Amino acid sequence: MTELQWKQLLAVVEGRPVHPLPVGFIIDSPWLPAWAGGSIIDYYGSDEFWLESNLKAIQRFPDALFLPGFWSEYGMCTEPSAFGAKCVWHAHDLPFAEKTIETVEQAAALKKPDVHTDGLLPLMLGRLERMRPRIEAEGHKIRFAVARGPLNIASFLMGTTEFMMMLSDEPEKAHAMLGTITDFLCDWLRLQKERIPTIEGIFLLDDIVGFVGEDDFEAFAKPYLKRAFGAFDSKVRFFHNDAGGLVCAPHLADIGVNLFNFSFNHELTMMKTLVGDKVALLGNLPPRDVLALGKPADVRRETAAMLAPIKDARGLLISVGGGMSPATSTENIDAFLDGVKGKI
């Protein structure tokens, strides 16, 4: 993002007024490759197509802030690959990381990967380093260290059902697994910051947090998220969970989160009450059913309805409740931007 966009983002998370209303979107491989005219596998495999796709979005929608900005990723395979997961690739569909853990004993004995050498991590970071001069020549900087969260990674390594059962049946082994994963995450986030000094934010994504109850959240999610977000001193600590967000919302400030992207099922005004004044919000139009599948008139109408109850827009980055959905059209994004401008 540009220096001006970064300052706007800092103003949002600090609760200062931003005019006009700021708009931001999480964009990555589910949406960007096809929108840019190529395949998902080319997006992962070609530095040139990856860079061109990101630049095309930035240039076509200059009024939007794209998060995390030039996201180098391999879908859900990035972090599991470091733990030895087999990654299955498709030309026009997202890759999938197969399970590596069959028993709770294996989970508890999980070994921490070397973030310098293991899995897809060197390729992800190498792309950013190779492309960084060209990104900066366009007036942008890489601002975020990015990773999937500890529960998300655990669910890919073990299977979601098996992992959730372990939380109940073998809590000590679950803690051992999550401790190792969080140690890995801290190493990985710090390495990104070390290799790219312009990074001043942390972005963690963990939808599995939305599937646990209050007690399990406090036991198995909160301490590990807090440690990961504290991996280095950062100005923006951005958390994405577009599953149920009511359990985690009151705890986010204590975890250190100051920007939260959450499910479109939760209204902006209600979520603002839950998170308090220390956490800014990114949302909250339905990304699939409205922004992707609606007509431009539907997008304008629903955007206006979403914004109508808002009396004080401080601490808000207007967006959708999740990442940009596949097949979201240019016309609908324009309609969303027009709808936000209508609120000014």
Q: What is the pLDDT of residues 224-275, one digit of tens each?
A: 999 999 999 999 999 999 998 899 999 999 999 999 999 999 999 999 999 9
Mean per-residue pLDDT over the chain, rounded: 96
Provide the Cα torsion 255, 153, 283, 95; round to 10°: 160
What is the pLDDT averaged over residues 157-169? Answer: 97
Instruction: Please give the DSSP secondary-structure letter assigned to residue 300.
Output: H
Considering the four listed CATH numbers 3.20.20.70, 1.20.120.80, 3.20.20.210, 3.65.10.10, the one that applies to the domain covering 3-341 is 3.20.20.210
pLDDT at position 344 over 70? no
pLDDT at position 326 over 60? yes
Burial readout 90-108 (b: 16 or more C-beta within 10 A, e: otherwise): eeeebbbbeebbeebeebb
At 342 the pLDDT is: 74
Region of 322 (left: φ > 0; alpha: ψ -120 to 50; beta: rest) is left
Return the minimum-mean-pLDDT range out of 170-174, 269-273, 291-295: 269-273
> Residues 341, 343, 344, CA angle at the centre, nearest 5°?
70
Domain spans, the chain:
3-341
What is the pLDDT averaged over residues 2-8? Answer: 97
At 343 the pLDDT is: 64
pLDDT at position 182 over 90? yes
Q: Taking Cα atoms as reference points, which of 16, 9, 17, 131 lies closest to residue 64?
A: 9
Angle separating helix axes 222-229 and 171-195, nearest 10 degrees = 10
What is the pLDDT averaged over residues 134-149? Answer: 98
